[in-house]
Structures are given as C-alpha cells and as structure tokens.
Amino acid sequence: MTLGNAGNYSVSWSNFPGDFTCGKGWNPGGYRTIGYNCGAYSNSGGGTFGIYGWTTSPLIEYYINEIWTGSAPTGTYVGTVSSDGSNYTIYKHQQVNQPSIQGTATFWQYFSTRSSPNSTGHNHTVTTGNHFKAWASHGMNLGTFNVQYLLTEGWGGSGYSNATVW
C-alpha cells in the first residue's frame, strides 16, 4: 500500500492467500457525506471497495460496498435502500469468535451492497446516514463510532486499486 497526498492511496497484491483491508478515512467515523474517486480497481479474487467501519457498544462491523467481487455477502437478506442515485441490498451476518477491533469476539456485520453497475471513476458520493437509517429501520442499530474509511479489501487472488477520499 502506498499512502499518497491528502486522501489518496493505492494498493496492489498478487496471489495473496489471505484477507486484508486498507484505506484512508476518519477516527471516529459517523454520519457524513463521503466523496471519492476510484481511478483504478481490479480484483481477480473476492473483495470489496467502499465505505467500512466499526462501532462499539454494540460492536458492529459495517460495509457500504460500492464494488463487490465474488459471491454475494454471506448472511440474511434484510431489504433495500436507495441512496445517491443507486440501489443497495442490505444483509446482516453474525461473526462468532472472530477477530475484531476489540480482539476475538462475537459481533454483527451489516452490509449495503450496490446493485447498479460498479462505481469506478470520478466524484462519487456516499451518504452514510441513508444506510445507517435504513439499517436502524430493520433493527440493525449501530453503537459509538470508531474508525471509518474508504476501503479496499481482498481475500485471495490478485488486484489493485487507486482511490482518493474526501
């Protein structure tokens, strides 16, 4: 991973056997309108590109997936939300005794995954509050915000991304 100026970062991986996450963002995260450019993205294995974060009390790992490669998120289908000109499907999944920002723990993952074409290019917007409110309407409540960032995640395969967040 290379950290560029301001909100820019780039990452590449080749025949990576595990899972990694990287990106740039905020601590704490929260309700905000996030702008980003995704100049390049490729992933031959499974992975995601989008907004990622954690809350505590309760411990929640969340994703707003702008690009998703591989099979659909594992979990229970909850509904849909429309935001920033796109439709997203909502899933939730419980992780049991898995790594977290508080060590090994049991916690929920919340996913909004963009249904429309992949979102590369310039000047995209993600209004996090639209997703948070949609999740809450399904009983998927967040806690105290911790980290939040524009994410590149890969699990296996090879790929690259070059993105800027503001």
Catalytic positions are 61, 153
Of 137, 121, 155, which Cα lies nearest the Cα of 43? Answer: 155
Of 116, 158, 166, 113, which Cα lies nearest the Cα of 20? Answer: 158
CA angle 46, 18, 11 (to 5 degrees): 70
Residue carrying the six token digits 């996913």: 111
Give me the count of residues in the chain: 166
Tell me how far apart the alpha carbons of residues 152 and 164 are, in angstroms, rounded to a whole number.
11
- Structural contact between residues 83 and 130, judged by C-beta atoms closer than 8 angstroms: yes
Alpha-carbon dihedral 71, 74, 80, 81, rounded to 10 degrees: -90
